[in-house]
Amino acid sequence: MLKLDGKVAIITGGARGMGASHARRLVEEGAKVVITDVLVSEGEELAYELGENALFVEHDVTSAEDWKNVVKIAEETYGPVNVLVNNAGITGEMAPIDETSEHDYRKVIDVNQVGVYLGMKSVIPSMKKAGSGSIINISSLAGLVGSTNSVAYVASKFAVRGMTKVAALELAEHGIRVNSIHPGFIETPMIRQGNTNDLTAMYEQIIPMKRIAKPEEVSNLVVFLASDDSSYSTGSEFVIDGGLSAQ
């Protein structure tokens, strides 16, 4: 039997990168997946590739109305939602605090933090209807340790870690588990954007395992947390960084 047979999942930021990898793995394991993103053409192509067990919905995670629509479509198409992967995120400006614009700071917080809050709030009634659920919030290594020139990103990812614990405490009695994943450097379009080979070499020098991870390695962890294999895990941080935070 497949690990996620009968599960209904929503994955935000699912059109490419880690989100697309998560969608593929969840479908492989038997889940029915609603892929959401602002990248319409990429999202539609992925849903077509994955077939009848996947569909795409255009979705701005900062919009409560969009969230309501996504959950409605998921329930009408596949049934009550069992799994939410809050994957959508942006990095924002790479600049010191005194050079970071208020506009950029608020934009990052809206997507990375408010989007996660709205996502959790929106799926709770559906998960209660389903009788159980797993919410998986994609934070970052930057949600565990500080990093220069990224005040908005770090703030948002620390917030995701904290919100995860609050939700885990509130929802445990309803059979809904909430955990956060903290990836280090992963091979995605976001991390490649603007990076040079020299920067990649630098990453590989500072990571104990001497390499950047593949998205599929994070997706394997998502599958574990989405499945009943992790039935006693809630309110926890799952770090996948090649040993970087162990130094």
Q: What is the DSSP string of 11-68?
A: EET-SSHHHHHHHHHHHHTT-EEEEEES-HHHHHHHHHHHGGGEEEEE--TT-HHHHH
| Positions of the chain with pLDDT under 70 | 189-199
CB 230 within 8 A of CB 82: no
CB 13 within 8 A of CB 19: yes
Q: Phi, psi (5° rounding) for residue 145?
A: -135, 155
Render pLDDT for 174-191 as a digit per residue (tens, 0 to 9): 999 999 999 998 887 656
12 DSSP β-pair partners:
36
Catalytic residue (choose from 105, 153, 203, 232): 153
**How large a percentage of the chain has pLDDT more than 70?**
96
CB 163 within 8 A of CB 116: yes
Q: Any idea of the CA torsion for 95, 90, 107, 138, to the nearest 10 degrees? A: -120
Q: Return the residue matching tokens 């309803």.
A: 174
Specify the fold of 8-238: Rossmann fold (3.40.50)
From 31, 1, 5, 37, select the one nearest 18 (Cα to Cα): 37
pLDDT value for 108: 98
CB 26 within 8 A of CB 222: yes
86 DSSP β-pair partners:
137
- Count CA atoms closer than 13 A to 92's CA, side-chain side: 27
Task: Calculate the CA 195 to chain-centre distance.
Answer: 22
Domain extents in the chain = 8-238
Residue 172 to residue 181: CA distance in whole angstroms: 18
Query: Is this model's pTM higher than 0.75 or not?
Result: yes
Render pLDDT for 97-146 as a digit per residue (tens, 0 to 9): 999 999 999 999 999 999 999 999 999 999 999 999 999 999 999 999 99
Catalytic annotation present for 232: no
From 229, 231, 121, select the one nearest 175 (Cα to Cα): 231
Fill in the amino acid letter for 195. Answer: N
Rg (CA), the chain: 17
